[in-house]
Amino acid sequence: MSVMLSLRTWRRLMPSKDIYLRQKHMISYLLTKLNDRKLIGVKGVDSYDYIQGLVTNDVRHLCPTLETSVTHDCIHSFMLNTSGRVITDVFVYKCDEIDVKTKQLFIEIDSQLLESITKFLKSYRIRRKVDIDVRNDFETSFESLNTKDLMAVRDPRLKELGFRLLVNNKLNDNENDVKERIKNFLNSKSVEYNETNGDNYVKYRYRLGVGEGVKDFPIESCFPLECNGDFLHGISFHKGCYVGQELTARIYHTGVIRKRLMPIEIIGDKEVPQSIAIQTVTADESKNVGKFRCNSGTYGLALLRFEDCLKSDKLLLSESGLTIRCTKPFWWPKEHRIDHKNIVKNS
């Protein structure tokens, strides 16, 4: 998601100060360009029903005509294969209706998966009255800011992740106008641009323990519950059938979830590469406790047997020999949680 791309523009808005507990009192925000996100448009009479059968979350939350639903402008979700494994995480955005009958949604995905996800969507389009296309501009209007050029929604995963913004291409050349609109929307005194190609945002997510994109969720390598989809408001267990639903429901209702994606920090005196290859994580006596996924400097994510890891005095990356430590995120339910927030804030 980048303001400089010739395609559609995505922006990620996050607090400029690194104190999560006080976010609601902040008056200054940092705007980070995301270069690794793409947008797919789904438009047509059947768009809601069509996407409802392909994602883990309940698309009806985006539909303001359902009195029984909790209405949102954006939901976080996953697309699964028929075996219930994650193909990709997605954000689904509600757009203004073109007319009474024609609905449209925007689906945000990792840019590396644009071709494969477009093909995946079209393979399930049989007899559905929908059009699928990669959005190269934003000519639709959005209710969130009451403007045709800008959309801002709270990140549906965690309040600590701030806002996600969608900006029309024609505003790219008028940065001050974009800043002014955002400041007015947030009632903020300051909006600053972060020119680090999203690196700070990635590190911020890793410290929180939140994955996003194909690097954090390799294709068909894990289940949505292992990705903390249930903790991050990305899975509905009441919506009915969707691709991969059967195994997801079975795992959830049996309560057997041994591995979850967790935040890790690389510690010790060894030099830390900016990017480390996927490798096994071992605990005491070389016990295999999971897989290291990714890092940005000393912070990263790993899919771990959380009970074993938290009991261990020492965790090692099998190939690089680096020592890591993991914690349970503060946003996990109380029965799973330790004081991760203070660790994140003070690290």
How many CA atoms does the CB half-sphere of 340 hold within 13 Å?
22
Q: CA 163, CA 8: separation in Å to the nearest integer?
A: 17
Q: Which amino acid is at 239?
A: K
Q: CA 224, CA 84: separation in Å to the nearest integer?
A: 8
Q: E strands along 49-162, which residues? A: 74-80, 86-94, 103-110, 131-134, 150-154
Mean pLDDT, the chain cut into blocks of 10 residues (347 residues total):
27 41 52 83 92 95 67 93 97 75 86 95 91 64 46 88 77 66 68 68 93 96 97 94 94 88 91 89 87 94 93 87 92 66 44
Q: What are the sequence ranges of the domains in the chain?
A: 9-202
Res 314: pLDDT:
83
Q: CA 128, CA 53: separation in Å to the nearest integer?
A: 12
Pick the CATH number of 9-202 from 3.40.50.300, 3.40.50.10320, 3.30.70.1400, 3.90.650.10: 3.30.70.1400
Q: Take residue 171 and report the two structure tokens written for it.
A: 């505003």
Res 151: pLDDT:
78
Q: Could you read off the pLDDT of 136-175 as tens digits, one per residue?
A: 654 333 333 435 567 778 899 998 888 888 877 666 556 6
**What order of strands is seen across the sheet that includes strand 103-110?**
74-80, 86-94, 103-110, 37-44, 131-134
Quick one: which of 219, 194, 229, 274 has its CA closest to 34? 194
Cβ-contact 138, 149 below 8 angstroms: yes
Res 275: pLDDT:
86
Res 184: pLDDT:
73
Res 78: pLDDT:
99
Res 17: pLDDT:
39
Res 261: pLDDT:
97
CA separation, residue 25 to residues 16, 161, 189, 191, 200 (Å): 12, 15, 12, 15, 21
Q: Which amino acid is at 203?
A: K
Cβ-contact 298, 265 below 8 angstroms: yes
Res 338: pLDDT:
43
